[in-house]
Amino acid sequence: MSASLNRIEESFEIAALRCADLTPLVYRRLFEAHPETRTMFRAQGSELVMGSMLALTIEAILDFAGERRGHFRLIACEVASHDAYGTSRELFIAFFAVIRNTLRDLLGDDWSADTALAWDRLLVEIDAYASIPA
């Protein structure tokens, strides 16, 4: 297991100790940074969709940062499906930074330079991976 994966996993573990459900925090930040996304989640039951989407994204992040056993492939699949209903690749990728920033705020003083570096590298790698034509 790489040091980067340890930092990524550790950031989620610490956040989980401080917050039972990241969903409201992540989506509040997403809606503030990208107000146009509010209309994407207006339907009844959108809380379930948001929670599921976040859970799948976290699984993909951890797999992408780790052994890449398969969950990470969700990233490329979802780039294509989100594009099909009008979500730009840039906005799709921004969601990963929103997650990182939410964790950074939750961790506060426990957010180290090594954790920041691991996340910075991960976001660059995810962006590059999502840019590969299907």
Model confidence pLDDT, tens digit, residues 111-134? 999 999 999 999 999 999 988 765
Tokens 């920033």 belong to residue:
101
Q: What angle is formed at CA 127 by the lines to CA 123 and CA 132, rounded to 5 degrees?
A: 150
Which among 33, 7, 34, 11 is positioned nearest to 22, based on CA atoms? 11
pLDDT in tens, 56-100: 999 999 999 988 887 777 788 787 777 767 778 888 999 999 999
**SS3 (DSSP) at 43:** coil
pTM, to two decimals: 0.89
Please count the other Cβ atoms lying within 10 Å of the Cβ belonging to residue 126: 20
